[in-house]
Structures are given as C-alpha cells and as structure tokens.
Amino acid sequence: MTAKGKAAVLKVWVLAVLVVVGAGFVVAAEEGPIKLGAVLPLADITGAQGSKAMQLAVAEINAAGGLLGRQVELIIIDDESKPEKGAAAIDLLATVHNVDVFIGGMSSGVHLGQLPALKKYEKVTVWIGAASSLVEQAVVGMDWYFHVHPWDYLQGASYVEGWAALQAEYPLIKIEKAFWAYEEGAFGTSSYNGSLVAFSNWENVGESFKSALLGGGDYRSVLRHAQEFDPDLFIWVGYAADALPIMEQAREIGFTPPLFVGSPPGWPADFGGSALANGVCAYGMWAPSIKNVSPVSEHFWDAYVAMFNEEPATYFAPLGYTNVYVVAEAIARAGTLEKEALITALEATSYVSPLGETLTFSPSNLIEHQGFSKQKILQWQNGAQQVLWPFEYATALPAYPFMGK
Amino acid sequence: MRMTRTIPYLLGAAVAATFPLFTGAYLQQVAVSTLIYLTLAVSWDMLLRSGQLGFGTAGFFGLGSYAAVLLVLNVNAHPFLSIAFGGLVAGAVALLVGLAVLRLRGMYFAITTLALASIFAVVLRNFPRLTGGPEGKMLPTCIYAGDTTKIYWLVLAVAVLTIVISEVFERTRIHLALTSIRNDERVAKSSGVNVFRYLVFVFAVTSAIQGIAGGTYAHVFGFVSPEGSFSANFLLLPLAMALLGGIHSTWGPVVGGLVLGALSEYLKLQIPYGHLLVYGAIIVVVTLFLPQGVSRMFKTWVRRSSVTRGVQ
Amino acid sequence: MTLLRTVPQKRVALLLVSLGIVILMMLWKPYALIEGLQRGGLYALIALPMALILGIVGIINLAHGEFMMLGAYFAYWLGVYFGIDPLVAMIPALAAFAILGSMTYFVTIRRALKAPELNQLLLTFGLAMVGMEFANLMWTSQPLKPHLSYVYSSMALGKLRFGTYAFIYTAAAIVLLVLLLLFLRRTRLGRAALAVGQNPRGARLVGIDIQRTYLLIFGLSIALVGAIGAMFLTRHSVFPSAGSPFTMKSFCLIAMAGMGNLPGVVWGGFALGVAEALVLSFRGYGGWADVVFFAVLVAVIMGRSYRRQTA
C-alpha cells in the first residue's frame, strides 16, 4: 500500500470509529415500556447471575402480560466494580434511558460512590447489595431508598439468634468461645466488627488474614492461633477462593473445632465434592436445597436452569429475581409509576421470595425501609448445602460435632 | 503555519469549556472520571520525561484522597482547601521519600515507588481509629451535592492546571534538563545540570498533582477506603493512557486518556459481558500497529494529508 | 547487568548468615520457618521464569501471572476431562504453554521489540487483560479447585505437626534454579542467551541469532510458568484474577535480587517468605505482613544502591 493509500485508509478508519462511538452515545428515548435500570458487576459471578435472574423475572412478567398494560424493559449496566463507573451508570440510566426505578447492586465500595448520583435524582431505588453499615449511615432519611440485603450488624444479630435456637433445640451443641478468622479487607472486617457487638456473651477472638482473592492463601498461622485458643466455634469470613484451601490447611495442621463455619458470599464450584466439606457449616441467605421446601424457590431454580442452561451458584441469583418481582408487584399494586404511590406500595410489600423468607420492609437501626434481616445457618452434608436454621426452612438435622470428633 | 497549528488547541479548549452546555449528566460523569485518569496520565508522563519510571501513582492518589477527607472530617475544612491539602501532603511525602529513592534508576525506582504505595495503603488500613481501617471513611456531604456540571468544571480545572504545568515544564529549561537526564545522565551532570535536585522537584510536583487528583476524586464520590483509593486502576489505567497516546509529551497522555476513557465506556454499553476482552485486545493491536502512540499517528496523518493536498 | 554473579566469599558469607537464621528460627518459631520456606518457595518458583524474560529479552511481562492462571485452568480441565492429576498435567502444560508462549512471541512481542521503550509494558498489560477476561468469559469468576488428598499430608516431629506437601514449592524452586543455571552456563544455547541478555548488539556481531534466542527464552519461560500454574493449582483455587498478584510479587523479588540474579530470586523468595511468616506468627499483627514484605524489599534495594555509591 502506498503512503497515500495508507493515509486514506486510516482516515476512513478514524472517521468510522468516531461515527460509531457517536452513535453509541445517542440512545433514543422512547415512550412505552416501564423501565427498570439495574447496575451490577457483570464480570463477577454475583452480577452475572444476578442480572440473568433479573432477565428471567422480566421475561416472566412480560409473558404474563406486563405491568399496567405495558411491557417491562430491563436495562442492565456494568459497574465494573469501580465506583466511578457505577456512578456514571446511574446518570446514564436516569438521564438517557429515563428509567422509572433503580435496582441492582453488589459491592458497598461501588455503592458509596453511586450515592451522590442517586441522591441527585431521588428516584425509587430498591437495592440488593451493599451490606456495609457505612452505606446505612449515608442513606438516612431517604424515603425513596429500599434496602433488601441485611446490613452487616443484622447478619451478626441473626446468627446470635440462630445459634441460640440451635443450642436450645440440640443440647449437645455448646458454644462459649469463638474464633473469628476474617479477610483483612472491608468485607471481612465489617462482618467481624458487626458480629462482635452481637456476640458479646461469647468469648471472642479475631484475627485477619489475606484472602486468596487478593494474592494470599496461606491461612496456617491463623489456623494455629485458632487451634491454641481451642474454640467451640471457628468461623472464617472470606471469599470463595479461600474455601477449599482453608479446609485443606486446617486438616494439614489437625485443627478440628466442634463447629467449623465458613461465611463467604459464594462457594466454589463443587465444594461439596470435597472429602473435607462434610459437616462444614455455612452462613448465607440461600441454598439450592431450599427448593425442596419452597415452591417459589423450586420454580425459580427450574426456570433459571431452563433459560440459561446453568445452575444458580450464588444467592445473588434469587436475590436479583426477588429484586425485579418486588418492584413489579409494587407497581401493580400502586397502579401508577408516581413516586409517592410507588413508595407506599413498596412499603406494603409482602413477597414470598425464592430465598425462602417472605420479604417485607421495616425499619432497621437508621433507615425506614430495610428488607431482609435474617440470614440462614446452613451445613454441607453429603455434597449439598442443607438449611439448619431457621427451623421453618430446615432441610436437614445438624451433624455435630465437625469431623465426628 | 503558526495559526493552523493553534487551531486544534483552540478547538479543543472550546469543546472542553462548552462541554456541559450540550451534554447531560451521564456524559459529564464519564468526562469527570476520564479527566481524573487523564490528569494522572499527564503527571505520570511528566516524571517519565526524566527517564524515571514511577509506579507510585496510585499511592500518591490514595494519600491525597485520605488527606483531603480526613481534613474535612477532623477540622471541617473547606473542600477546596482540603483538596489542596491532599496535594500538599502527597507532595511533601514525595519530597521526603524522593530524597532517598531518587538515587535509584530504572526498574529499581519503579518497584520502590510501587512498594511505597502499598506501604501507604497498609499503614492507613492499620490505624482504624483515624482512617476507618479497611472500611474507610465517608464524607457527610459530597461536593456540589453531586451536581455533575459543577463537578465537571472542578475536575476540568484540575486537568487544565496539570496540562499547563506540564506545558510549562515542556517549554522552559526544565524540559532541557529532564531530556538530558533521560538521554544520558552523565552528560547532563557534566554540563552542569543538578540532576538530583531536578528529579526531586519533578517527583514532588507530579506527586502533588496526583494527590490533588485523589482529593478531588474523594470529594466527587464522597468516600475513601484502602481498597478503593489505592486501587491498582489508578496506576495501570493512566499508564496505559499515556503509553497509548504517546509518551514524553503533554498531548500524548491527553489524547490517550480521552480515547481510552471514551472507548471503555462505549465498549461497556455495546458488549455488556466481555467488553474488557475487547478493550485489552484493542490495546494490544494499537501497541503493535501504532508504536508511536495515537497522538503521533494523528499528527503524522494530518501532516500527510496536508502534504497530499499541497498545502505545505 | 550480569545474569550470573560469582563472588565466592560473598556467597559463603550469605550461606553462613542464612544458616544462622535458620537455626535461630528453628528454635524460636519453627512453624514460621517451615511455612515461610514453603510460601517463599512458591514466590521464588513463580518469579524465576519472569526473571529469565526480564534478564534476557529485557521486558517486564505484566501478563506473567495471567499465563500462570491459564496454566492452572489448563491443568484443572485436563483433570476434569481425563482424570489427570495436576502434577502430571505439568508435562502437557509445559508443551501447550511452550506453543502458546511462542505464538505470543511471534504475533505480538516480536513486533514490539523495536518499538520505543516501555511499549512492551503496554503490550503485556493488554495481554494480561485479554488473558484475564478470556478466563472470565470461559469459566466465570467462580473459583475452581480439584480435590486432592495428598496436599494436606503432614508429619509430626515431637510436638511439631506441619504440612509436608507444600515443600514441593521449595524443592521445585531450587531444582528449577539449578536447571536454569546449568542451562545458561553449560549449554551452547544457554550461553548464547546469556550473551544476548548482556549485550544484544555484541551477540549479533559474533553471529548469534537474536530473534531465535528471544523466541526460545520467551517460549521456555511461558512453558515453565504454565507448568507452575498446574503446580499452583494443587494447593490454591484458580479464578481469573488468581495470577495478577503474583506478577507484582515476582517483579518485587526480581528487583530485590538485582537484575538477572537468578539465585538471588530464590534466596530473596525464601527470605521474604520467612519474614512474612514470622510476622504472621504473632497473633493480631498479620495485617502488617505486607508492610514487612515491602519494607524488606525497599531496604534491600536502597542498601544495595548506597553500597554501590559508596564503594
């Protein structure tokens, strides 16, 4: 190619890119469907499956005739786990797509950066992520803000209740001393701090570790300290990447506390297949086995698998599904998209969710509209997560003590 | 010729200044984060012009963020004052650190600045009473209550200030000194350039700019946290922008910043699942086929087309 | 910039000091010593191929950790489909990643070598992103790990009970170091590569094919890091960003050892591993382990620079 020809080709290329970029930014606003704007981290499995579950819910609603005689449109924007991208997504949804309601959410760090944008529009927001109580402090007095996920301290309080109930029901189980191994970032630390307040009647010792997610992965010194403390309950708060290595390293040093609890936001694929998984307790909002006791959960599971040809692996999948349905039912009840009516309708929410519980909104420590407040105590038994507590969703009896000691 | 050369700059300035008049909150928000990254890219390049590869960008950015937020929380300072304070702290720390580490060269300097950035983050994380620990601290109110137009002006002012400083460096004897240090330090020394003093000066100034960028970012989004404020993104993205645009100039990082900022947002909307793959592939392709950077390619293109048109 | 330093007295002194520290640690904090050598071995093992590329081809490979991550996925899927143990999968990984490395070299690195300095940095940054996102699209961010019972084998010595399997990293680091040194010193190819690393122009003058040498070293390093990924998988989960922290760690180790000092990478790995494990052994101070890692790094680099200036 001659220099001239090359220059011409380059020119065309540059112009083409400019045109395409320009076209992408101009998104025509249409009248018609009811618009839900979701922001999620799509590169993470939580956001990826959460967004798919939302699509499933919207597809079901539209197949059943939509809402108020209109179709529902779901617009999902990736926050890339970055606060500035999350904030831009809110602006995009509000000003370009003109959505009626904001939904979605995962990380607290991203959400903190989105709050200035959300406060600007004051649209009805129903958020399923961001458990940090820092977020709660930032949304005080915002009557249009509905928070579905339990705050960190609520989770702690919920487990206090759960262990008390389990001890009362099964006198064999006795907990007086607990050792907490928590990942050193915001997630682990806020869970630990939230729990310390709640578990004030236990003797608690905590130590942080570096999660494998951030380049760590050697837990042996923490496990040894736990072993020296000899707790009745050992709990680690980390990520899915830590789950199997922690079990292996605990076995390596011969650490077998009577209760071995893990509290990651998601478990690795096939954790249950490990010989070390049996008897490990888990904290969570959901387990696949809930489909055995809840018809809504069963329906969700089957529909999700049918639509996407994969199994839901994180509780953000049923949470995303719940997110859409809660908003949809409120719109149907309100009969309008008008803000005050919608808020009132949301306040009257009573949605039987695929997570097991019926979702209602009630005040938490600082805000008016808090959704779930309870977590579940689960246990890995024969390769699957079973629910131990709350008893109304229990799918199995507890195996105690861990490793049959 | 002089006239035609200034036209693109005037045009750019006009577009930048009037941007909020014809755009909405979304594009302004995208512009805000692009401009912050762009500021970091220009400041990173300013140090690179002396031949020193700095990997401390995220560290000084985070330091500035924390300094600004903590000043507001503890003495209720005005946001502008706290942003300046962020720059001051970052600059002062860089000055002190620079006196020690600027004797290092090449990858040794690079890795030491990277290590220092990590040390800043871990130290801040380990003093929860002051800094909020791993969870960080939140500002009671965001600057301008989240009004994107005003925020855009603020961030634009920071970016323009950086560009002006960079141009001053390019047009004064600092440029000669830095270029000579980069090309051959011994020659520079023997021709009377006080190499060490120049390096410390540039390191402190560029770190102060990064601190100001950090303080601004913290005010725009309203919080600091070790994971967020010291994120590797604040090192890697500016670096990619400067390298893609073309290093050793003011306009290379500026062009690279604008291109990558717009590209990443555009790709995200077009390809919700998997846009980062395309983004990475574009970076690879551009590096291979435009080794001089986008801005120089653009210049060559303009020059060539004017030659073919017989203007020159 | 010599790839191998031979200063016998210094080495003896270093050996004596190391031995002293080892004995002291054995008496005071045996677990910190054992676990430090194990984690340090992993650091060193991963850093060695990167040091090779940096020393001879002269580029900082920001995609180093991503190649390791892909190696781990490779081993995982071989395990799922053919029931191969990750340690056995190291052999096919070596072959597959030699091909992947050579292809990467041909398609990308080779074209960027003549480009202005630092362009390779951007190139490998882009490659890292492509690698990570490819993994994310293929296998999601959910971690995967095979179930292997041998990885938690342990032994008891008196009151001590410690894991034995992780010494595989310590041993592998030393074996790889010895093999690389033999290769670089004793074989024609290795000596040629060494010459290219020290002075490419001079090497060309004496008739060494630079391109072929670069291809060989890049392919070899990627093959090694792919196989190391399989070994990594035995004790760690794999997920798209599993490798990236190790790129930084490796780079730190190489800088600490000094450009091209392969034995230094291994000693440095052990030293940092033990220093970290020592900090971790004090309950409640684990959060400072990173600071120790970086403080040791900075101290060594600064110390060497001052010694050179005063010498």
Integer Cα distance of A394 and A293 in angstroms:
8
E strands in A16-159: 34-40, 72-78, 101-104, 124-127, 145-147
pLDDT category of residue A1 using cuts at 50, 70 and 90: very low
Q: Helix or strand or coil: residue A67?
A: strand
CATH superfamily membership of A34-150+293-359: Response regulator (3.40.50.2300)
Is the predicted pLDDT of residue B27 greater than 50, yes or no? Answer: yes
Integer Cα distance of A90 and A79 in angstroms:
9
More confident position, A88 or C311: A88
Question: In chain A, which residue's Cα lies nearest the Cα of B233?
Answer: A82
Mean pLDDT of chain A: 90
Is the predicted pLDDT of residue A12 greater than 60, yes or no? Answer: no
Whether a cis peptide bond, with omega within 30° of 0, leads into A171 is no
Instruction: Mark yes or no for CB contact A7/B227 under 8 Å.
Output: no
User: Which stretch of B286-300, C58-72, C99-113, C277-291 has the lowest confidence by average pLDDT?
Assistant: B286-300
Structure tokens at C266: 């291994």
Give residue C275's domain range: 35-310
Q: What is the secondary structure of A368-381 as a DSSP string? A: S-B-----EEEEEE
Is the predicted pLDDT of residue C264 greater than 70, yes or no? Answer: yes
pLDDT tens readout for residues A212-251: 999 999 999 999 999 999 999 999 999 999 999 999 999 9
pLDDT of residue C289: 87
A109: nearest CB among B142, B227, B265: B227
Q: Helix or strand or coil: residue B112?
A: helix
Residue C269, domain CATH: 1.10.3470
Contact status of B108 with chain A (Cβ, < 8 Å): no
More confident position, A400 or C222: C222
Instruction: Mark yes or no for CB contact A207/C286 under 8 Å.
Output: yes
Instruction: Mark yes or no for CB contact B292/C302 under 8 Å.
Output: no
pLDDT category of residue A4 using cuts at 50, 70 and 90: very low
pLDDT of residue A75: 97
Instruction: Mark yes or no for CB contact C129/B279 under 8 Å.
Output: yes
Question: Are C1 and C198 in contact, with CB atoms under 8 Å apart?
Answer: yes
CA-closest candidate to residue A219, choices A185, A190, A176, A183: A183
Residue numbers of B between 137 and 156 with CB closer than 8 Å to A: 138, 142, 145-148
C125: nearest CB among B111, B116, B240: B240
Is the predicted pLDDT of residue B58 greater than 60, yes or no? Answer: yes
- Sort out which chain C residues have CB atoms less than 8 A from B53's CB and list them: 118
Question: Are A38 and A77 in contact, with CB atoms under 8 Å apart?
Answer: yes
pLDDT average, residue stretch A100-119: 94
Is the predicted pLDDT of residue C262 greater than 60, yes or no? Answer: yes
pLDDT tens readout for residues C115-171: 776 888 889 999 999 999 999 999 999 999 999 999 999 998 888 889 999 999 999
Mean pLDDT of chain B: 91
What pTM was estimated for this model as a whole?
0.91
pLDDT of residue A200: 82
Give the ipTM.
0.91
B112: nearest CB among C134, C259, C298: C298
pLDDT of residue C15: 84
Residue numbers of B between 40 and 99 with CB closer than 8 Å to A: none
pLDDT of residue A82: 93
Question: How close, in Å, is residue C83 to chain B by CA atoms?
Answer: 30
pLDDT category of residue A22 using cuts at 50, 70 and 90: very low
Chain C neighbors (3+ CB pairs < 8 Å): A, B
Contact status of C283 with chain A (Cβ, < 8 Å): yes
A153-284+376-404: CATH, from 2.60.40.10, 3.50.50.60, 3.30.565.10, 3.40.50.2300? 3.40.50.2300
Instruction: Mark yes or no for CB contact C305/B104 under 8 Å.
Output: yes
Interface test with C, best of B45, B50, B112 (most C CBs within 10 A): B112
pLDDT average, residue stretch B200-224: 96
Residue numbers of B between 203 and 242 with CB closer than 8 Å to A: 217, 220-223, 225-228, 231, 233
User: Which stretch of A139-143, A334-338, C201-205 has the lowest confidence by average pLDDT?
Assistant: C201-205
pLDDT of residue B28: 95
Is the predicted pLDDT of residue A2 greater than 70, yes or no? Answer: no
Question: In chain B, which residue's Cα lies nearest the Cα of C126?
Answer: B280
Contacts of C11 (CB under 8 A, 6+ apart): none
pLDDT of residue B311: 46
pLDDT of residue C119: 85
Contact status of B12 with chain A (Cβ, < 8 Å): no
Count structural domains, chain C. Answer: 1
Integer Cα distance of C59 and C212 in angstroms:
16
